[in-house]
Amino acid sequence: MKEEVVRARGHENVSARHASTFEVTSDDWLTPAGDCILAVDADRTPADFDPAFVDACRNENARIVATFEVDGVTERVEGHGHPDLTFEGDRSMVGRTSDHTDDRTIMLGAAFAAEGFDRELVDALADGAELTLTLRVGGGADD
């Protein structure tokens, strides 16, 4: 199993109300309209990920798990990979419940989007808490 770790922080405008995506951005600001964004000021983006991790995610059979840890609260979201994932985004990373891909997409078919996150975790992020996001991929051809 391959993994990538991203550190970011919450922001007062985190609402986690989006129905089809969740996002972590390297931007250091967030407007109330960004209802899919869970954290800002990420120390890494998909463009920084190891090529072996990216290759593993480019398999439709790959199982991708995003684990969010904030103030002792942990949330796990599972999704899958796809050959069209590029991981070229240099600003943000997006998990999607759909099968839409762009350069920011880190998983497809996510079990839930921002609105499904534990409200205790969301409240901590809205208070500016630190986030550790661990992305793991397995189940592909090389796993």
> Pick the residue with more confidence: 130 or 139?
130
* pLDDT of 109 over the 50 cut: yes
Asked if the structure places residue 18 within a domain, the reply is yes
Domain that holds residue 86: 2-138
Residue 75 covered by a domain:
yes
Q: CA of 141: how far to CAs of 28, 46, 57, 63, in Å?
A: 37, 21, 10, 11
The total domain count for the chain is 1
- 143: in domain: no
CATH of the domain at 11: 2.60.120.630
76's CB contacts (< 8 A; 6+ apart) are 65, 66, 67, 68
Residue 47 within a domain: yes
Task: Express as a percent the part of the chain with pLDDT over 90.
Answer: 96
| Structure confidence by residue, pLDDT tens digits, 54-101 | 999 999 999 999 999 999 999 999 999 999 999 999 999 999 999 999
User: Does residue 49 lie within any of the structural domains?
Assistant: yes
